[in-house]
């Protein structure tokens, strides 16, 4: 099975896709791909203590300073 992300530019295309789904040729998942914030929330829900976005930003900046010598 292959997955594709499609951006619909014309409403007629959506009708065609829905017809294909009705024929069980394709499935349509209306859930958008995970944004960075959604991924963070998912990871935080599984952890006992999750870092905040500010903590992550501080850590990234620290690593960048070490890496690039600033």
Question: pTM above 0.85?
Answer: no
Report d(CA 34, CA 8) in Å as an integer: 19
pLDDT, tens digit (0-9, with 9 covering 90-100), for 16-35: 999 999 999 999 887 766 67
| Predicted local distance difference test score (pLDDT) of residue 36 | 80
24-70 residue pLDDT tens? 999 988 776 667 877 778 877 877 877 788 999 999 999 999 998 86
C-alpha span between 62 and 49 (Å, rounded): 21
Record the tokens describing residue 5, joined without a space. 């992300």
Annotated domain spans of the chain: 11-68
């Amino acid at each position: 099975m292959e997955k594709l992300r499609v951006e619909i530019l014309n409403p007629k295309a959506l009708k065609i896709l829905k017809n294909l789904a009705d024929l069980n040729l394709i499935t349509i998942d209306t859930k958008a791909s995970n944004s960075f914030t959604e991924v963070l929330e998912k990871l935080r829900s599984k952890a006992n203590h999750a870092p905040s976005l500010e903590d992550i930003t501080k850590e990234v900046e620290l690593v960048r300073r070490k890496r690039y010598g600033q």
